[in-house]
Amino acid sequence: MEKNKMAEWLSEGSVAIPKLLMNHYAELGLNEQEFMMILHIHVAIEGGNDFLTPEEMSKKMSISAAKCMEVLRKLLKEGFIGIEQKQDPSSMIAEFYTLQPLWYKLVSLLFDENKKHKQIEQEEEEA
């Protein structure tokens, strides 16, 4: 019966991406491949998988696991994503990705643009 299938598809849900990020990722220095990798990491984190492997990424992307690893390294090196550690219930140390650095970069960009606008307005008033 199709209805069950349809219900299952609807229940999959959607991921929400702030329009501010959609409009400014290129300005932050990300290309489309890098940005999509960040979105896949974001979806995985929200779904409870906070350490997506390059192999898992590769299955959802148009690039190989080796290329995923390369992009991932660049994102870590340039400070768009971070790796942190936590102790899981069985007291093992587990690593997880955090996108906090990305959000911080976005906020900084917005603040700077805001400041620049204000400065220009002020200079125009004084002129």
Q: How far is the CB of 76 from a copy of itself (least distance, A)?
A: 18
Smaller CB separation from a copy of itself, 83 or 107: 107
Distance (Å, whole) CA 97 – CA 45: 8
Q: Which DSSP category does 13 fall into?
A: -
If binding means CB under 8 A, how many residues of this protein chain bind a copy of itself?
Answer: 49
Smaller CB separation from a copy of itself, 75 or 106: 106
Among 53, 56, 61, 78, binds a copy of itself (CB under 8 A): 61
Largest interatomic CA distance in the chain: 72
Q: How far is C-alpha 79 from the chain's CA centre?
A: 12
Question: 96 has which bridge partners?
Answer: 84
Distance (Å, whole) CA 104 – CA 76: 14
> Is residue 62 close enough to count as binding a copy of itself by CB under 8 A?
yes
Measured between its terminal Cα atoms, the distance across the chain in Å is: 72
Q: How far is the CB of 121 from a copy of itself (least distance, A)?
A: 14
Q: What residues contact 121, with CB distance under 8 A and at least 6 apart?
A: none
> Is residue 84 close enough to count as binding a copy of itself by CB under 8 A?
no
Q: Which of residues 98-127 bind a copy of itself (CB under 8 A)?
A: 99-100, 103-104, 106-108, 110-111, 114
Q: What is the DSSP string of 64-78?
A: -HHHHHHHHHHHHHT
Q: How far is the CB of 42 from a copy of itself (least distance, A)?
A: 8
* Residue numbers at the binding site for a copy of itself (CB under 8 A): 2-20, 22-23, 26, 30-33, 35-37, 39-40, 43, 46-48, 60-63, 99-100, 103-104, 106-108, 110-111, 114
